[in-house]
Structure formats: structure tokens, C-alpha cells
Amino acid sequence: MKLARFAPALFVLLWSTGFVGAKYGLPYADPFVFLSIRVLIAAVLLFAVAYLLKMPVRIGGNAIARSSIIGFFLHACYLGGVFYSIAQGLPAGVAAVVTSLQPVLVSIFAVKVLGEQLRISQVAGLLLGLCGVILVLGPSFKAHIPTGGIIAIAVALIGSTTATLLQKRVGADIPLVAGTAYQYLFTGLVLGVIALATGNTHLTWSARFTAAFVWLVLVLSVGAILLLLWLLNSGSAASVSSLFYLVPPATAIEAFFLFGEKVNTQGFLGIGVTALGVWLVIRG
């Protein structure tokens, strides 16, 4: 079971590069058309993989509907929110920190959705996590980031939280590869309609954009997403969600070397406070 041992660390590493890939690619494309083409190509690749490996492709109307709903929250809301917020000027590291609060929200809603209990220490962790995010976001408030960017990253956080709960509640019995392909197919169509409706269809192919695009399709949309869904199907929602808090430090290191994004003392303090809050929420 070497995969089970190294899968969490591999997931964190792969997932963190998604923010970097978005930063590289977005100067050359509008976010929604970028994502639409990306996930539609990923859908074709996964359908081909399922067919060649003789995995289930026809999974029934009910399973397709559930996959489409999960995909809408995981890809349209989460990925769309992240890409749009970064396109609006939100630093990649800050976007990673905000979305890493997912385990906190999962713990809150798991009380109702998954029947889990919330301890006093978890409530304290929720408050600490909120304080930590405020500390991390503090410097960005001075950067005059458009309100749309802040709203978009909030939508991304809600989307990833909802998708995690839905995958654990109604998606565990759906064939992994085909289910993910239908997620992408539905999401790609939705994002394509949004891009056309808003007129945001700018796309300029270049060597840098092509490299970012290929990385995001193969490594993120195929590798990391399949790994995430496998982890959710084989582990608890809380334990898998806790991995998201390990993403910001990895992203911060990558953004520092690649883009020169720096984290000040207040930011490091905020990361530490949020880490403590998340640990209080998920421990035990």
C-alpha cells in the first residue's frame, strides 16, 4: 500500500501547483474560457482512459446527475473562483490560504450532513482559524484588490467544501474515472456558456501558456483530481480536508521562487494561527 502512504503528500504537492499554473496562464487567457477548454479536454482524456482500460463509461442517469452536481461545485465554483480571483489581482498565496479553510467549514457542516459532533475545542479552532485568515489577508486589503476577487475566492471556498461533503455523501459509489469525466463535461459546458455570455473569450497561445495549460490538464485535472476523489472514497472527509491546509505553505514557497511573492511577519503569524485552529478542529 505504498500509494496510500505517499498519496497525501503527493496530493498536497500537486494541488499547490494549481495556483502557480493559474498565475502563469491567466495573463494569456480569460479565466472562464481557460477553464472551460481545460476541463473539456480533461473529460475527453478520461473517457478515453475509461474506454481503453475497459472501465465503466455508461454509469446511469442518476450517477451522471450526481457527478454533474459534484463537478459544478468542485470545478465551476472552486476552480472558477480561484482563477477569477487571481485574474483580479489576488496573490496566489493568499488564494491558497483562504481556500485552505475548507476543513473548518467541512467540520461545521459535517455535524448535519455526516452526523458528526462538534467539540468545544473545535469551536475554539474555528475562531482561531478565522483570526488567522484575517491576519493573512490584512496586507491584501491595502492592495486595493477588487471586491469581485474577494467574492470569487469566497465562492471557491464554499464550492470546494460543498463538493467534499457531496462526494462523501452521494458520490462514493460512482465509478471514479467515468464519474470525474462527467463532472468535467458538465462543468466545461457551464463555464463555456458563462464565457460566451460575458464576452470573456480572449485566449492567446504562447509557449508559456501552453506549458501551463498542459500541466494543469494532465497533472491537476487528471492526476490531482483523481487522487483527491480516491482519498475521499478511502478516508474520512475531515482527514482528507485537513490536507488543504498544507497547500498554502507549499504554494508560498513556489510563489516566492517563481513570482517573488513575499510573506511578511504578519502573514507567517496568520498561517501559524490558522494552522493551530485547523488542528484543533480536526484532531481526534
- Asked if residues 11 and 243 have their Cβ atoms less than 8 Å apart, the reply is yes
- Asked if residues 80 and 200 have their Cβ atoms less than 8 Å apart, the reply is no
Q: What is the mean pLDDT of the chain?
A: 85
Q: What is the 3-state secondary structure (H, E, C) of 230-258?
A: HHHHHCCHHHHHHHHHHHHHHHHHHHHHH
Q: Which residues contact 123 (CB under 8 A, 6 or more apart)?
A: none
Nearest Cα neighbor of 251 from 276, 222, 271 is 271
How far is residue 116's CA from residue 138's CA, in Å, rounded to a whole number?
Answer: 33
Helix (H, G, I), strand (E, B) or coil at 7: helix
DSSP per residue, 193-236:
HHHHHHT---B---HHHHHHHHHIIIIIIIIIHHHHHHHHHHS-
Can you give the pTM of this predicted structure?
Answer: 0.82
DSSP per residue, 67-98:
HHHHHIIIIIIIIHHHHHHHHTT--HHHHHHH
How far is residue 6's CA from residue 230's CA, in Å, rounded to a whole number?
Answer: 13
Query: Per DSSP, what are the bridge partners of residue 203?
Result: 29
How many structural domains is the chain composed of?
Answer: 1
What are the tens digits of pLDDT across the range 113-163?
666 666 788 778 777 877 877 777 666 556 666 788 889 999 999 999 999
How far is residue 86's CA from residue 91's CA, in Å, rounded to a whole number?
Answer: 6
Q: What is the per-residue pLDDT for 236? A: 65
Amino acid at 118: L
5: left (phi over 0), alpha (psi -120 to 50) or beta: alpha
Residue 91 structural domain: 2-282
How far is residue 234's CA from residue 46's CA, in Å, rounded to a whole number?
Answer: 21
Residue scoring higher pLDDT (3 or 121): 121
Residue 73, pLDDT above cutoff 90: yes
Residue identified by cell 511578511 is 264
Amino acid at 200: N
Region 175-194: what's the mean pLDDT?
Answer: 95
Region 223-237: what's the mean pLDDT?
Answer: 83
Band (210; pLDDT cuts 50, 70, 90): very high
Region 53-78: what's the mean pLDDT?
Answer: 93
